[in-house]
Structure 1
């Protein structure tokens, strides 16, 4: 360990990098699942008329 201003700093090891990467992937996967739930709820609310969706002119 190297010392910086009296604080011991552990150099990044491959194990630490792997752990951090795995935690990041897990967090991203959890965010994706939450977005999928939100999307399904939003679609359901629009279909059942709980929210009003404005019509868009497609220009056709």
Structure 2
């Protein structure tokens, strides 16, 4: 990825759009994850007690 970021080909719209979109999507996803995690909006559901082997 580092080699392609300094490549002249990224100046062309055909490849530059994909490059910027990929990094923008990654940055946006990270921002949403940090926001949701900080607010406690992603909580695991309460776990159930496992059944004993004799009950199966």
After TM superposition, the score normalised by the length of structure 2 is 0.49
After TM superposition, the score normalised by the length of structure 1 is 0.46
Greater share of helix: 2
Greater share of strand: 1
